[in-house]
């Protein structure tokens, strides 16, 4: 069977992508080695690679939209009945397309960086090393193991319709979550490449340029993680929003290093401190994007054997090793020549606060890294497979993250180099008043929704105190700041910090006060949770069966009375036919005080259904905090553009 | 390369204090991590390994473990809110699992799943005894990732649909 011309073009594009990247890499190395002018050739090879990636994407999209099921990937991730929007998002529905998206975004970011930062000469060629090596690797993987445009070996096996996407993933949140994460991951390539230009060419501007791109990578990564969490909470339906799953941890690890870098880069900007440390962090963050992808894609977490069954894992491991050798080799060789101002005389200064911030973030990173990879080390060293779950993370993360939150509430008021002044003491005073007020306020609110007055975890107490402790001084800072200087990156940072504290209140409350019970509801009989002041009544109509475009729904109307209001929820089970397991759509009654969710767990008969009821106080603070943080990022990005 | 160590020696006392507190804090983190790992990690087995350790008398009863594999097609049965199913793997090892509670949405036949629980030493419900080695799970996890669409079907079913052309990247 002859492929259609766009598919043909796409396959050609994939080769162009690989060849262009290879040439860009070779000519960059030549340019750096021989001091002759190969930079223009390297740049044009790289542009060829960009065009190649565009062609491949076009070919894949054409195949998806024209339902060309002779392409294996298309038959796996899409079907004829799939809505248009999810035909497009089927692009990143599985490994092959995911690699293509990764390559495409690296092209995009690198292209933008070259033109925005006006890179030329040897700076350009040293900058191109990392993106072109990464592109070589990813396009090589696609050509060898995971070609998104490969057709079936045998044309008689071509199916009439594809398997399609899991209905659970046919959701706007899940459609944009992966590309946001990929944008964050690939965005880290740019600051890491700028770091390499500094190591190879003494590019003193690297840190400003890196900071600029780090803001974007950070923004996308954070948004991606939050959207993923939001989706898990709303679509998986059982009241959880973070599961400490290796896939989640894989996105958290580079995030922690990137956040540490965003702070320590401030210390460099203000005082030329931590030069080597900054380079280390940004190079490690890029490394972690590879490691994260490796551990989630190779199956090594489940078992070392699963990993050794596919060559993909070895290739990843090989590339990671090569990257680490080169990146940290460059860093090691340049160690002595990298100038570092290491004057940290004043102990209560902002630079010391940043030092401890970095230590804490590194600590969290180490905790997450070991928790995630321990199964691998254990199996290799002792032959015993172990599994590390949420209890480990719930034990190790709070003792590190809580000091970080305290630091976050104090550090913005410290000064560079100097001792703290009157302003600092004043802010502490205002803050203490604010903290006590917010502590009492949240205690009162907890008591009003059926929880005991002064009985909670120390983490939750601390976060409720810290919110007021930070909020009042922040308000004063905003009121005092002169007009026009209102939206500086400093102010953006303060907004992000507030968002983090909101999120922390929601997170600690949900860990400590999450309440879950099963309730069997019958028509028009009410079920009362006395302690929580919640009344549930199933509608007189009982179980309803309705048919929708691609599923049939079993649902029931339930009246939920709480907090002085009644809302009718419609929890359902959706059946998407024999190919898929049914999904649970929860009913949610939410206000800022608490979330009450209702999920059908078992249909006993037409009028009797068992539900899982979950009550979580302050859960909305997680999303509110996330949105505040994202707005803060936007302020930072906006102010640094100028 | 080692000049930074010499420099550190010449640094004023405050710098050393900072360094010492940093090192102490980092050691505290390491202690936290390793003590946590010791307490919170569970042994993990594939069904074949479970069978092997039962025959060689090495499987401990009442110890909390995790078992991961595929849910064997046609093995799920539900009796009075109790779910029975069979976990299996590529080498056709088999473990019977009993679970009381709500199954996760993506739990399905042919799907990868992990069960956490114990092999109880005392079972007395008139149906079976402890030497039948039924795994009492109290927590079920399904694989979390972007590859649900593939993992949903097991390899044999994939082969039926696609012939030899199993899409690459299929785990296990």
pLDDT of residue B8: 52
Chain B residue nearest residue A306, CA to CA: B172
Residue spans of beta strands (DSSP E) within B56-154: 65-71, 77-79, 82-88, 94-100, 112-118, 134-142
pLDDT of residue B171: 29
Is the Cβ pair A146, B169 closer than 8 Å? yes
Do B57 and B126 fall within a single domain? yes
Is the Cβ pair A387, B161 closer than 8 Å? no
In 3-state terms, what secondary structure has residue B74? coil
In 3-state terms, what secondary structure has residue A517? strand
Q: Are A402 and A394 in contact (CB under 8 A)?
A: no
- Collect the ranges in chain B with pLDDT lower than 70: 1-16, 124-131, 143-172
Do B48 and B24 fall within a single domain? no
Kindly state whether residue B97 falls inside one of the protein's structural domains. Answer: yes
Residues with Cβ within 8 Å of A563's Cβ and at least 6 positions away in sequence, in order, are A449, A533, A591, A593, A594
Q: Does A77 touch chain B (CB under 8 A)?
A: yes
Closest by CA to B103, choosing from B84, B125, B128, is B84
Kindly state whether residue B168 falls inside one of the protein's structural domains. Answer: no
| Distance, CA of A362 to CA of A39 (rounded, Å) | 37
Kindly state whether residue B171 falls inside one of the protein's structural domains. Answer: no
Is the Cβ pair A389, B42 closer than 8 Å? yes
pLDDT of residue B165: 32
Kindly state whether residue B12 falls inside one of the protein's structural domains. Answer: yes
Alpha-carbon dihedral sign for residues B36, B42, B43, B44: negative
Question: Taking 50 as the threshold, does the pLDDT of residue A319 lie above it?
Answer: yes
Query: What is each CA distance from A525 to A192, A535, A540, A616, in whole angstroms?
Result: 62, 10, 9, 24
Q: Does A389 touch chain B (CB under 8 A)?
A: yes
Do B61 and B138 fall within a single domain? yes
Q: Does B2 touch chain A (CB under 8 A)?
A: no
Closest by CA to A466, choosing from A545, A513, A402, A406, is A406
Q: Are A503 and A532 in contact (CB under 8 A)?
A: no
Do B12 and B83 fall within a single domain? no
| Distance, CA of A430 to CA of A428 (rounded, Å) | 6
Per residue in A215-266, pLDDT tens?
999 999 999 999 999 988 988 777 789 988 888 899 999 999 999 999 999 8
Per residue in A20-59, pLDDT tens?
999 999 999 999 988 778 999 999 999 999 999 999 999 9
Q: Does A181 touch chain B (CB under 8 A)?
A: no
Kindly state whether residue B66 falls inside one of the protein's structural domains. Answer: yes
Looking at the complex, report in whole angstroms how far the Cα of residue A114 sits from the nearest Cα belonging to chain B: 32
pLDDT of residue B4: 54
Residue A302: band (very low, low, confident or very high) from pLDDT cuts 50, 70, 90: low
Question: Taking 80 as the threshold, does the pLDDT of residue A67 lie above it?
Answer: yes
Is the Cβ pair B66, A243 closer than 8 Å? no
Query: What is each CA distance from A580 to A163, A577, B113, in whole angstroms?
Result: 10, 6, 15
Distance of CA B69 to the CA centre of its chain: 9
Contacts of B147 in chain A (CB under 8 A): 94-95
pLDDT of residue B161: 38
| Residues of chain B numbered 89-148 and touching chain A (CB < 8 Å) | 102, 104-108, 111, 114, 116, 144-148
Interface test with B, best of A236, A362, A364, A396 (most B CBs within 10 A): A396
Q: Does A240 touch chain B (CB under 8 A)?
A: no
Average pLDDT over chain A, rounded to an integer:
89
Do B12 and B89 fall within a single domain? no
Question: Taking 60 as the threshold, does the pLDDT of residue A296 lie above it?
Answer: yes
Is the Cβ pair B144, A247 closer than 8 Å? yes
- DSSP H or E stretch at residue A406: helix A390-410
Distance of CA A6 to the CA centre of its chain: 33
pLDDT of residue B10: 52
Per residue in A454-505, pLDDT tens?
888 999 999 999 999 999 999 998 888 876 666 788 999 999 999 999 999 9
* A:B CB pairs within 8 Å: 192
pLDDT of residue A387: 85
Contacts of B39 in chain A (CB under 8 A): 391-392, 395
Do B21 and B74 fall within a single domain? no
Chain A residue nearest residue B142, CA to CA: A245
| Distance, CA of A314 to CA of B6 (rounded, Å) | 40
Kindly state whether residue B127 falls inside one of the protein's structural domains. Answer: yes
Do B137 and B104 fall within a single domain? yes
Do B34 and B48 fall within a single domain? no
Question: Taking 70 as the threshold, does the pLDDT of residue A589 lie above it?
Answer: yes
Looking at the complex, report in whole angstroms how far the Cα of residue B119 sits from the nearest Cα belonging to chain A: 17
Residues with Cβ within 8 Å of B93's Cβ and at least 6 positions away in sequence, in order, are B46, B47, B48, B49, B50, B51, B52, B69
Kindly state whether residue B31 falls inside one of the protein's structural domains. Answer: yes
Q: Does A164 touch chain B (CB under 8 A)?
A: yes
Do B25 and B76 fall within a single domain? no
Contacts of B106 in chain A (CB under 8 A): 166, 168, 581
Do B27 and B70 fall within a single domain? no
pLDDT of residue B1: 47
pLDDT of residue B7: 53
Do B98 and B137 fall within a single domain? yes
Do B22 and B70 fall within a single domain? no
Of A154, A344, A385, the CB nearest to B18: A344
Is the Cβ pair B111, A581 closer than 8 Å? yes
Per residue in A427-438, pLDDT tens?
999 999 999 999
What percent of chain A stands above pLDDT 90?
56
| Distance, CA of A183 to CA of A50 (rounded, Å) | 16
Strand partners, A516: A614
Is the Cβ pair A154, B165 closer than 8 Å? yes
Interface test with B, best of A69, A70, A76, A151 (most B CBs within 10 A): A76
Of A178, A362, A389, the CB nearest to B40: A389
Q: Which of A351 and A140 is assigned the larger pLDDT?
A: A140
Of B3, B43, B102, the CB nearest to A385: B43
Question: Taking 50 as the threshold, does the pLDDT of residue A133 lie above it?
Answer: yes
Rounded to two decimals, the ipTM of the complex is: 0.72
Q: Does A336 touch chain B (CB under 8 A)?
A: yes
Contacts of B105 in chain A (CB under 8 A): 168, 236-237, 581-584
Q: Which of A153 and A568 is assigned the larger pLDDT?
A: A568
Domain that holds residue B130: 43-162
For chain B, what is the domain count?
2
Kindly state whether residue B11 falls inside one of the protein's structural domains. Answer: yes
């Amino acid at each position: 069977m002859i492929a259609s011309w766009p598919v043909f073009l796409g396959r050609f594009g994939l080769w162009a992508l690989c060849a262009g990247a290879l040439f860009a890499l070779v000519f960059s190395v030549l340019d750096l080695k021989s001091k002759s002018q190969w930079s223009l050739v390297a740049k044009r090879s790289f542009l060829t690679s960009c065009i190649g990636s565009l062609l491949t994407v076009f070919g894949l999209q054409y195949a998806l939209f024209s339902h060309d099921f002779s392409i294996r990937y298309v038959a796996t991730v899409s079907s004829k009945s799939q809505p248009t929007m999810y035909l497009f998002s089927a692009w990143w529905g599985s490994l092959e397309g995911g690699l293509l998206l990764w390559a495409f975004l690296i092209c995009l970011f690198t292209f933008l960086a070259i033109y925005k930062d006006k890179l030329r000469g040897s700076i350009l060629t040293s900058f191109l090393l990392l993106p072109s090596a990464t592109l070589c690797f990813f396009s090589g993987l696609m050509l060898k193991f995971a070609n998104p445009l490969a057709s079936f070996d045998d044309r008689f096996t071509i199916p009439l319709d594809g398997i399609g996407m899991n209905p659970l993933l046919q959701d706007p949140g899940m459609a944009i979550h992966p590309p946001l994460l990929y944008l964050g991951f690939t965005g880290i390539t740019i600051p890491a490449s700028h770091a390499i230009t500094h190591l190879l060419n003494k590019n003193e501007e690297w840190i400003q340029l890196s900071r600029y791109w780090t803001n974007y990578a950070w923004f996308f990564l954070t948004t991606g993680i939050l959207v993923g969490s939001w989706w898990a909470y709303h679509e998986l339906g059982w009241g959880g929003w973070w599961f400490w799953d290796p896939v989640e941890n894989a996105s958290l690890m580079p995030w922690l290093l990137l956040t540490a870098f965003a702070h320590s880069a401030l210390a460099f900007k203000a005082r030329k401190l931590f030069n080597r440390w900054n380079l280390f962090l940004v190079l490690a963050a890029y490394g972690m994007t590879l490691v994260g992808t490796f551990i989630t894609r190779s199956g090594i977490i489940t078992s070392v054997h699963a990993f050794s069954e596919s060559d993909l894992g070895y290739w990843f491991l090989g590339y990671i090793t090569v990257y680490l050798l080169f990146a940290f080799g460059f860093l090691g060789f340049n160690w002595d020549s990298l100038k570092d101002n290491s004057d940290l005389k004043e102990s209560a200064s902002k630079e010391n606060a940043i030092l401890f911030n970095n230590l804490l973030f590194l600590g969290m990173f180490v905790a997450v890294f070991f928790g995630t990879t321990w199964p691998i080390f254990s199996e290799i060293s002792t032959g015993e497979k172990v599994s590390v779950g949420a209890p480990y993370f719930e034990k190790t993360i709070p003792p590190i993250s809580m000091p970080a939150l305290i630091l976050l509430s104090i550090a913005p008021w410290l000064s560079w180099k100097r001792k703290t002044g009157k302003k600092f003491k004043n802010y502490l005073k205002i803050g203490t008043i604010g903290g006590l007020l917010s502590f009492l306020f949240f205690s009162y609110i907890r008591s009003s929704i059926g929880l005991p007055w002064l009985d909670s975890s120390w983490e939750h107490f601390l976060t409720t105190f810290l919110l007021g402790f930070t909020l009042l001084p922040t308000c004063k800072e905003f009121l005092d700041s002169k007009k026009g200087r209102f939206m500086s990156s400093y102010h953006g940072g303060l907004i992000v910090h507030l968002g983090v504290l909101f999120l922390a209140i929601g997170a600690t409350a949900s860990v400590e006060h999450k309440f879950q019970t099963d309730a069997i509801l019958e028509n028009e009989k009410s079920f009362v949770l006395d302690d929580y002041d919640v009344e549930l009544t199933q509608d007189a109509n009982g179980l309803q069966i309705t048919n929708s475009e691609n599923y049939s729904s079993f649902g029931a109307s339930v009246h939920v009375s709480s907090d002085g209001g009644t809302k009718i929820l419609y929890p359902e089970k959706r059946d998407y036919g024999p190919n898929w397991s049914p999904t649970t759509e929860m009913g949610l009654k939410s206000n800022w005080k608490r979330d009450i969710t209702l999920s059908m767990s078992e249909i006993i008969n037409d009028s009797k259904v068992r539900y899982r009821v979950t009550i979580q106080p302050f859960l909305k603070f997680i999303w509110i905090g996330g949105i505040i943080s994202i707005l803060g990022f936007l302020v930072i990005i906006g102010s640094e553009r100028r | 390369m080692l000049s930074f160590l010499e420099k550190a020696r010449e640094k004023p006392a405050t710098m050393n204090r900072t360094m010492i507190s940093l090192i102490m804090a980092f050691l505290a983190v390491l202690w936290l991590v390793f003590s946590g790992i010791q307490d919170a990690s569970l042994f993990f087995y594939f069904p074949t390994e479970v069978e092997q350790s039962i025959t060689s008398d090495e499987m401990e009863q009442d110890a909390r473990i995790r078992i991961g594999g595929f849910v064997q097609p046609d093995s799920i049965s539900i009796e009075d809110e109790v779910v029975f199913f069979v976990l299996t793997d590529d080498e056709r090892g088999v473990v019977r699992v009993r679970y009381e509670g709500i199954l996760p949405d993506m739990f399905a036949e042919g799907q990868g799943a992990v069960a956490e629980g114990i092999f109880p030493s005392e079972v007395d419900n008139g149906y079976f005894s402890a030497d039948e080695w039924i795994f009492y799970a109290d927590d079920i996890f399904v694989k979390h990732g972007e590859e649900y669409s593939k993992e949903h079907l097991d390899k044999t079913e994939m082969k039926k649909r696609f012939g030899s052309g199993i899409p690459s990247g299929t785990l296990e």
